[in-house]
Structure 1
Amino acid sequence: MIRALLHRGARVFGRRYDYNVDYMHHVIDTSAAAGLALSLLPLVSQYKGPKAARGVWAGALLASTLDGDCGPCAQLVVDFALENRVDENALLAAVEGRLDEAGDVGLGVQFARSAISRSYEPNEFADTIRARFGEQALVAASFAAASGRFYPVFKRGLGSGHACQQIEVLGRVGKVAV
């Protein structure tokens, strides 16, 4: 019964986002417990914090995901961000590495890159996020920076990784600056 529900959820997700969910079905078939665990991961990555800071969340999730790959997972993050009304021009600028033009999305990208860098120096972007948007926004950006790499790495581990691709932002193609 649980497997059937998990498979149904994966199919719905795949159709909604035009996303290949074969790896999800594989995990569910391998272990219902693993499929359930996989279905609960969005509880972490999709904690967005305050609405005013959605761009920061999106930028942190995008940077973390791009650190893992620049294929379908990155496109999915862009689609999530657009669904959450993150500015399309800021997203495109961030995808293309024009962080000075990306506003809050660029701030999120810089925050995540700093967090991922293995530096134990204070993350200078954390203070900016905290001062402008509050502690909840910093928590959301931290979740995003930590979790965005999960799916690309997990998929590669299962042999389902994908090559880089161009990322579309509402029909506008951005050349990924990795």
Structure 2
Amino acid sequence: MIRYFLRMGIEQFAKRYNYDADYMSHVVETSTMAGVRLSLLPLYSQFRGPKEAQDVWAGAMLGSTQEGDCGPCVQLIVDMALEAGVPAEQLALCLQGDASAAGDVGLGFRFSQAAIANTPALEEFRAEIDKRFGSAAVTAASFAASSGRIYPVLKRGLGFGQTCSNVQVKQKTIQVPQHR
């Protein structure tokens, strides 16, 4: 019965975002308990903090995901961000390598990249997010920075890794550079 509900949830998710969720189905078929645990991961990764800091969260999730993937997972994050009302032009600027010009989305993007690389700039980004949006926004950006790479790494580990692909941000096609 649990497996049925997991399959239904995966099917709805895949349809909603036009996303290839075969790796999720594989996990459920391999182990129901693994499927349950995978289904709980959004409780962590989707903590977005305060509404006014949503763009920072989206940028952090995009930066982390792009570090782990150059296509389908990045497209999913872009689609989810657009659905939430995140500015398309700021998402596009980050994907084109100009995060410093991308407003709050760029702030989150640079935060996640600094957290992943453990650079000295991390403290500056953390302080700015905290000053402007509060500690819950820093927590949300940190969750995003640490969780965006989970799905691409999981997919590759399971043998479902995909080749790089272009990302659509509204009507704009962007070739996402591979960070590996």
Structure 2 residue 147 is matched with structure 1 residue 147: yes
Structure 1: gaps of 5 or more residues: none
- The equivalent of 1:80 in structure 2 is 80
Q: How does 1:1-178 map to 2 (within 5 A)?
A: 1-119=1-119, 123-177=123-177, 178=179
State how far apart, in whole Å, the 2-side matches of 1:120 and 1:157 are.
31
What amino acid sits opposite 2:63 in the alignment? A
What amino acid sits opposite 1:132 in the alignment? R
What amino acid sits opposite 1:76 in the alignment? L
Report the TM-score, using the length of structure 2 for normalisation.
Answer: 0.95
**What do the CA deviations read for 1:24-58 (whole angstroms, capped 9, x no partner)?**
11100111000000001011111111111111101
1:118 CA displacement: 3.4
**What do the CA deviations read for 1:73-97 (whole angstroms, capped 9, x no partner)?**
0000001111111011111111111
State how far apart, in whole Å, the 1-side matches of 2:93 and 2:13 are.
27
1:156–1:126 Cα change, 3 Å? same
Identity of aligned residues (%): 52
Q: Structure 1 residue runs of 4+, over 3 Å off?
A: 118-122
Report the TM-score, using the length of structure 1 for normalisation.
Answer: 0.96
1:165 CA displacement: 1.1
1:116–1:105 Cα change, 3 Å? same
1:118–1:101 Cα change, 3 Å? closer
1:119 CA displacement: 4.3
1:134 CA displacement: 0.7
What amino acid sits opposite 2:74 in the alignment? A
**What do the CA deviations read for 1:128-169 (whole angstroms, capped 9, x no partner)?**
000011111100000000000000000000000111111111
Structure 2: gaps of 5 or more residues: none
* Count of residue pairs brought into register by the alignment: 178
What amino acid sits opposite 1:50 in the alignment? P
State how far apart, in whole Å, the 2-side matches of 1:120 and 1:38 are.
33
Q: Note the aligned Cα RMSD (angstroms).
A: 1.3
1:171 CA displacement: 2.1
Contact 1:166 1:176 in 2 (8 A): yes
What amino acid sits opposite 2:104 in the alignment? D
What amino acid sits opposite 1:114 in the alignment? A
